[in-house]
Structure formats: C-alpha cells, structure tokens
Amino acid sequence: MERTPVVSGWFSGDGDDFRLLGTRCRACGSVFFPRADAFCRNPSCDGTELDQTPLSRTGTVWSYTDSRYRPPAPYPCDPEAPWEPFTVLAVELAAERMVVLGQAAPDVTTADLAVGMAVELVPGVLHRDAERVWGTWHWRPTGVAV
Amino acid sequence: MTGDIAVLGAGLHPWGKWGRNFVEYGTAAARAALADAQLDWRDAQLVVGADTVRGGYPGHVAGAAFAQALGWQGARVSSVYAACASGAQAINTARAQILAGMVDVALVVGADAAPKGFFAPAGGDRPDDPDWLRFRVLGATNPVYFGLYARRRMARYGDTPQDFAQVKVKNAAAGAVNPNARYRKAVSAEEVAASPVVADPLRLLDICATSDGGAALVLSSMAFARRRGVAPVRIRAVSTVTPRYPRTALDLPDFATDSAAAVPPPEVGFRASIAAAAYEEAGTGPADLDLAEVYDLSTALELEWYEDVGLCPAGEGAKLLREGATALGGRVPVNPSGGLASFGEAVPAQAIAQVCELTWQLRGQAGGRQVPGARCGLAANQGLFGHGAAVIAVR
C-alpha cells in the first residue's frame, strides 16, 4: 500500500534522499520548518518569496523522551491494541541552527539515546488503518541497520 | 515605570475534581474576593474573564458568563484567552483600564473544569492548527515537552531525578497546609520514585494534574483605595511579553525552534525576558523578592524558573533547591502556595490564583505557609504559543 503523508509538503523522497522540507526566504536567508510560504517571519525582513529547501538529513540529539501512555485524539492509533510507548527526539541541525522534533524509529528506546548523539532522518510509518498507511519522518541513531 | 494599582480583594474556590460547571467555581471565587474587598458586585465597573476553552473557542465567553452568574449589572466586560497566561492577561486588561482612568474598580475572574487525563486539542480535522498537529503527527502531549526539557537539564547541568523529586517534596509540604490546594498531604521522595514514568525521565508525581478551580481578584485605582482608607497590596508590574526572533527555545506546541542561521539569537531568551520585563517595569530585581510563585507544570520546570526569574545563574537551579533556599523557611520561598504540584492546573484560574497567594503572603494572612515579613513577590507563568506573563506585587 502506498504511503500517504500525515502532512503534505513537510517531507519527501525515499531512502537516503528522504528529507524534511522547509522554506528559505530569498531576501534574508532565514529557514522555516514547518514551512512558511507566504511571508518571512524575521521581523526585520519584508520578504514574501520563499523557496522550498530540504533540511539537513543528520543532526545531534538535543534531548529525548517517550510517551508511556496513549496520547489522546487526533493521534492515530488502534484503541483496541495494547499501548506500545514511542520515543520522541529533539534534534539539533547544525547548518540550520534549529531544533526539530520527531518520533524515533520504532525500535529505538530512550535507553539507546544520549544527548549529543548523531542521528539521521528516515522515512517511517505513523499508523496503518484499513484504507491507508500514514507516512511520517523518524529519527534514528546513525549507522544502525534498517 | 507605570503606576500601581490596588488589590482590594482575593478569593479562590478550592481546587479539586468537583465535576461541576466552571461558572460556579468562578462565581464562588468572585463572591469571596468581593467579600474580602468589602465591596458589592454592583461596585465593579469592569468584569474581566480569563477564558476556558471548549470545542476550540473560549467556552461560554467567560467575562459575560461570570457577569450573568453574578447578576447583570451593566459593567464593562472583557474576555481574555492566552492559554496558561490567560489569568495574567486578564489582570493586565483590568490594570490598563484602571491606569487609563476608564474604571476605578474591576473584578477579574478565571475558572475551569478540566477533563480527565491529558489536555487534548479540540476535535475535528484541523491541520492548520499547530496544537492539533502536534498531537496528530507526534503524539506530543504536554508531558512529552516537559520530559524533553527535563532530560536536557540532566545532560546539560547534571540535574538528577532525585532533584526533580525534591521539588515535589518541597511543594507538597507547602500545599499540605494550604486549605485551597487539591493535594494536601506530604509526599516523600520514595513516593515520587515509585510513581509510574509518564514521559522519561518524568514520573506521574513530577507532572502537575489538571484540576477544577476558580480564582478572582478585586482591583482598583490607588485613589479609590485611599478614599476607602486602606493600605492595600499593590500590583506594580505586569509583563505580557512575546518572544524575540529567532526564538531558539523549543516550546509547546511547536515542531521546531526558529532557525538562528540567518539572524543571531537575542541575548536574553524568551523565558528570562518574561521576568526581566516585569522587573524593569517595577524598578526592582530578583534580589528584592521575598517569595515567588512560578509555573511548575513539572518539577524540572520549576528549577528552570529559578534561573529564568534570576534567583540563581543558569544551571544552578538544583543547587538552590538543595540548599533549601526555595523551601518555606528558606531565603526566597518558591511556590509557598504548594504550586501546581499541589493544585493541579485549572488553566484560566491559575495565574490569578498565583496573585491571590502573593496578596495573602504580602498581607501576612497565609497561615502555616506564611513567608515572614514578605514585602515583594513575583508570579511568573507562560502560556503556549508564546504568551509570557509575570506579575510583581508589593506591600
């Protein structure tokens, strides 16, 4: 089944080409994620032309945690299935000088992580229901086999 | 500096899980505040409601809901929503109208009836709402953000889960002697450590509950207070700042910080700027504080506030705690009310309740949790989406 992005326009590509998509202001060079398409949010810039720009594929762990309890709607999950905690990472991207959140790949627990560790972006599945596979982005320590 | 306004009355409906309509809690608190001020509701020329949110809009549009419950009397009305900072903004709305000479006496009310469990966004399919999206895409409940901050402190400053537990122990001890608190018993570090992990490294007893409750203040011009011959607690400053770009600290409900690649980050970060603006307006500083009420959504977050309101340098919050400086009897007690740890959060009421506590402390009416000789207090909080708020009250 083909993956439907959980949000359209936030990421694209396959395998090593998978990237989060931000935008960059043509006037001041500021980068935005989630994307800003109409107006630059730098208060000293009047820019209105922003180009889509892929964000760095790799970064370092700024912090991490997990969700031991089921989040409420609209988090997509099967309420009948036993709850499996997921891990959340905040990842610092050096070139963009920003921190971006994301869930960890499903096999990654907080015990596998440390602040400052190198991680990479990989395509992931948020949820499968009868009609669709919802695609998202995941972070995973670099050099770990799929 | 701006002028002072007077706090003539403060009132709370006790926090708990009562299962009744929020208007009832707010009305009870308003009546208590009016009685404390020895004023009749019909003397209030302005009612400001801090709004609760139901179904994606401010439910019952709070200012008028309280005015109707108290009995329509024609007062001006204002309704304010700023998430956790709603109460502080409601106070500031009243203050601005008092200082502008538009009204002499204002009633400020906030109340909520919180649902069980995690706070959740309004229903429906709303992908244009960042608060809806963070639940949808990340499953990022509020404790997920609190867990990220806590882990970051451990890595950066060497804080430990034992430090976090000690914040709960301290606040529970204060809340145990506060008749308005929801949780009124001492908690041990062992009990914190035995509670289940919610968002690693934080456990259930590290994270504030969601509560029902109501809080109200009667505020007036200094001239009105003088005519009544009272020497009231005064509100000297209210900070309602937003962040400066680029905002480099991760906040609810954001997916990312601003990028600092093109524009360097401001010298003072957002959270530190909240109290700084209040100090500047009041002409005071952290050394003048006798006590502070800060928004301890989690135990680890309370340590961050110590640093952000200037009680100690960055990274030394846990040291200040370990020294006992922020406990009752310490140099500058923090959350002598028991804080959110003992109350749980009733969102639009909470920042007003903080100022009620400052009022009672500065009047010397705080009973078993009294900070002796308190003359200057700070209340600080932060509402998601970038609503900063801090209040400085003096006697």
pLDDT at position B118 is: 81
Residues B243-279: tens digit of each pLDDT: 999 999 999 899 999 999 999 999 999 999 999 999 9
- Please report, as a single letter, which amino acid is at residue B124: G
Chains A, B: CB pairs < 8 Å: 144
Query: Whose CA is closest to B38, among B13, B67, B8?
Result: B8
| pLDDT beyond 70 at A78 | yes
Please judge whether A126 and B137 are an interchain contact, meaning their C-beta atoms are less than 8 angstroms apart.
Answer: yes
| Domain residue limits, chain A | 57-146
pLDDT at position B286 is: 98
| pLDDT beyond 60 at A64 | yes
pLDDT at position B124 is: 85
Query: Whose CA is closest to B245, among B209, B270, B225?
Result: B270
Phi and psi, residue B224, nearest 5°: -65, -45
Half-sphere exposure of B176 (CA within 13 A, CB side): 11
Radius of gyration over every alpha carbon of chain A, rounded to an integer in angstroms = 16
For residue A6, give how far its alpha carbon lies from the nearest alpha carbon of chain B (Å): 7
Residues B274-307: tens digit of each pLDDT: 999 999 999 999 999 999 999 999 999 999 999 9
In the structure encoding, which two tokens stand for residue B43, read together?
A: 């003397």
pLDDT at position B59 is: 73
pLDDT at position B115 is: 82
pLDDT at position B123 is: 81
Query: What is the band of A13 on the pLDDT scale with cuts at 50, 70, 90?
Result: very high
pLDDT at position B56 is: 60
Give the residue from chain B lying closest to A135, CA to CA: B137
Query: Whose CA is closest to B181, among B327, B362, B325, B366?
Result: B366
B92 sits in which H/E element? helix B86-99
Picking from A7, A41, A115, the nearest residue to B127 by CB comes out as A7
pLDDT at position A29 is: 97
| pLDDT beyond 90 at A70 | yes
pLDDT at position B1 is: 58
Spell out the alpha helix ranges (H) of A37-134. Answer: none
Instruction: Say if CB B48 and CB B63 are below 8 A apart.
Output: yes
Domains and CATH numbers, chain B: 5-115+212-233 (3.40.47.10), 130-205+236-394 (3.40.47.10)
Residues from chain B contacting residue A114 (CB–CB below 8 Å): 155
A117 touches chain B (CB under 8 A): no
For residue B360, give how far its alpha carbon lies from the nearest alpha carbon of chain A (Å): 38
Picking from A44, A97, A136, the nearest residue to B261 by CB comes out as A97
Average pLDDT per 10 consecutive residues for chain B, totaling 395 residues: 91 96 96 98 97 72 92 96 94 98 98 86 86 95 97 98 98 98 98 98 97 97 95 97 96 95 96 97 98 98 98 98 98 98 96 98 98 98 92 97
Average pLDDT, chain A: 95
Please judge whether B139 and A103 are an interchain contact, meaning their C-beta atoms are less than 8 angstroms apart.
Answer: yes
Residues from chain A contacting residue B143 (CB–CB below 8 Å): 67
Residue tagged 């302005």 (tokens): B46
Please judge whether B151 and A72 are an interchain contact, meaning their C-beta atoms are less than 8 angstroms apart.
Answer: no
pLDDT at position B297 is: 97
Please judge whether B255 and A33 are an interchain contact, meaning their C-beta atoms are less than 8 angstroms apart.
Answer: yes
Residues from chain B contacting residue A101 (CB–CB below 8 Å): 138, 140, 250, 254-256
Phi and psi, residue B349, nearest 5°: -90, -20
